Structure 1
Amino acid sequence: MNHRDALKPLLADIRACRLCEAHLQDGPRPVVQAAASSRLLIVSQAPGRKVHATGIPFNDVSGDRLRAWLSVDRDTFYDAQRIAIVPMGFCFPGSSRNGDLPPRPECAPTWHPRLLPLLTQVQLTLAIGQYAQAGVLGARCGGNLTETVAAWRMHLAQGVLPLPHPSPRNQAWLKRNPWFEEALLPVLRHEVARVLGID
């Protein structure tokens, strides 16, 4: 069975997953986007409440900012043949007083080892937020998100760009770290355009 043939039933299994059902305030609704031909992989945190309601990844203000960072339109962003979106937790984990809960710990260990090896055409991985960075970079992470993102040149040499989460909650971080928009964003846009074949 080739990767294309293996991917379709696996995505169906992921979307039917009920592994964490007892722990999910709003019930399970796994959200994932991928194709065997995907060239850009976005590893994110977990769906928020609006994404849970629509079943569309990054279908919220965070997604608007992320698409602006990448300089891609919605049609390109939601083209699974070009872009895979694989969160650390496929379902909305619920909310607390401090915002959304962390991704469920069962999710990535269950599904990522089966899914990610099938994405053989990926040329660039974006690790968005600290949970994704821990999952993608492991021991190569810095002491905190800022240190990890600040070392982006080193990580890019390995095909990974670590990014902060594009949530409006991170506006203060962006103001404290102007180098992100000045130095990293132009490289991010160039790399995304190169990988996706955008003129």
Structure 2
Amino acid sequence: MIQAHLAATVKGFPVFVHTIDHADGLVLVDTGMIDSTPELDEEWEPVPRSENVPRDVVCVINTHLHFDHCGGNRLFPGVPIHVQARELADARAVDGHTIRDWVDFPEAAYVEHDGEAEVLPGVRLLPTPGHTRGHQSVLVDTPSGLVVLGGDVAYTFRELGTGTTEGQRRVLALGAPTWLAHAERPKIPIRTGAVPPPPARSS
């Protein structure tokens, strides 16, 4: 089962993270923001941290390392964090890419990938460059078929449909239901003229 969880807002615009209930344990895709910092515009608002931070997280996958997607990584010291090697290098080297203290925290356990990879059975990484050079999306095999957790491959489904970036074209080619970090419900593509059922919060 895949679920979306509100992690932050900017100008009222939501930022969602996703959980995958996998046979091996809970997989967290992005971690949102758990607090603010003077480096951020005051329009960024983290969602107050819950005391019920899941303890059975077996791994974290960051679609990319912008602060609104990796700000909660610090809650999971020692837990494997899967990221593209290029993304981690840029986060450490490029000014303005992110908040570096939120990336390199004590006991950060990054697992770097160079391209496609399988994290767990049925959970795969697909590089989807565009928003950042090292952006990746997460492909999840579910009982009802493939689902894509696209992160910021696009901000809106309309933008995704343009296929402007290489990453967007890769996601569109899959023809699979796709969640975005700024949309609470997935976009389900119409196939062979059939009208899909209303989107649901879980898959």
- Do they superpose with TM above 0.5? no
Structure 2-normalised TM-score?
Answer: 0.29
Question: What is the TM-score normalised by the length of structure 1?
Answer: 0.29
Higher share of residues assigned helix: 1
Q: Which has the higher strand share?
A: 2
Q: Name the structure, 1 or 2, with higher relative contact order (CA <8 Å, separation 6+).
A: 1
